[in-house]
Amino acid sequence: MKRSYLLEISVETGEAALAAQCGGADRIELCGSLSIGGVTPSIEVMRTVREQVRIPVFAIIRPRGGDFVYSDGESAEMKRSIAEAKRAGMDGVVLGILTKDRSVDIERTGELVAIALPLPATFHRAFDDCANRHEALEDVVQTGATRILTSGGAKTALEGAALLAELVAAAGNRITIVPGAGIRASNIARVVRETGAREFHSGLGSVLPYGSSNYKEFEAEVKKLTDQLTGLR
């Protein structure tokens, strides 16, 4: 049965990507070091995952953990990483740069989005660090990104559901709002109802510890999520 909703799962390894696909995930967000929020995976990992799964794979482009205010050197590194992601056959990239005053760096983020073309770019949860998220939404639209991954500025997407619903309404057809953070099988139906979003992101970190090698359990948890979404209309 075709679902009305899309599920993206973040992973670090080929084994986890394959388990997510087997569990019914629609898209992979590929990261290194998920325990610190995710950084750019190596080109070797990107190539391995591309060889192992048939669903779309988006690679995060983030040179380090911590804040999202980057030096010129870090910005140059991100440009090189985007080129590597394209060579490795990635289907999209996930990125974002902020200014020191906690606004979207429209110019530098736009440069990265343009370099990524024709691949789509998701503006990641740097969005949640922005001081004014309604203004940030308009700024991200200007960059040319096609999606925003956000918890609505809250610890979890469920806690941020009210703002997420506002963002979904304000975004319209211009950009896709993707709720993420703390989403699991027991709450995804509520997140769907309360946000009005159509795409969702989960790393299952609230269910399984990052770095776990229990891929059968990971696959089972992804399937619980997809089963919940399949039952919704």
Task: Write out pLDDT tens, residues 105-126.
Answer: 999 999 999 999 999 999 999 9
From the list 112, 122, 95, 130, the residue with the least C-alpha distance to 200 is 122
pLDDT band at 210 (very low <50, low <70, confident <90, very high): low
Contact in structure between 23 and 44 (CB atoms under 8 Å): no
What letter does residue 14 receive in the DSSP assignment? H
| pLDDT at 1 (0 to 100) | 45
With a threshold of 0.85, does the pTM exceed it?
Answer: yes
What's the rounded Cα separation, in Å, for the pair 161 and 193?
9
Contact in structure between 205 and 34 (CB atoms under 8 Å): yes
What's the rounded Cα separation, in Å, for the pair 201 and 38?
14
**How many CB atoms neighbour CB 101 within 10 A?**
8
What average pLDDT score do residues 75-88 get? 97
| pLDDT at 20 (0 to 100) | 95
| pLDDT at 206 (0 to 100) | 65
What's the rounded Cα separation, in Å, for the pair 98 and 69?
5
Domain ranges across the chain: 6-230
The CATH class for the domain spanning 6-230 reads alpha beta
C-alpha distances in angstroms, 30 versus 14, 22, 104? 9, 16, 23
The model's pLDDT over 21-61, given as tens digits with 9 standing for 90+, comes to: 999 999 999 999 888 888 999 999 999 999 999 999 999 99
Q: What is the mean pLDDT of the chain?
A: 94
Q: Is the pLDDT of residue 152 over 70?
A: yes
Query: In whole angstroms, how large is the CA radius of gyration of the chain?
Result: 16
Contact in structure between 94 and 59 (CB atoms under 8 Å): yes
The model's pLDDT over 135-150, given as tens digits with 9 standing for 90+, comes to: 999 999 999 999 999 9
Contact in structure between 111 and 138 (CB atoms under 8 Å): no
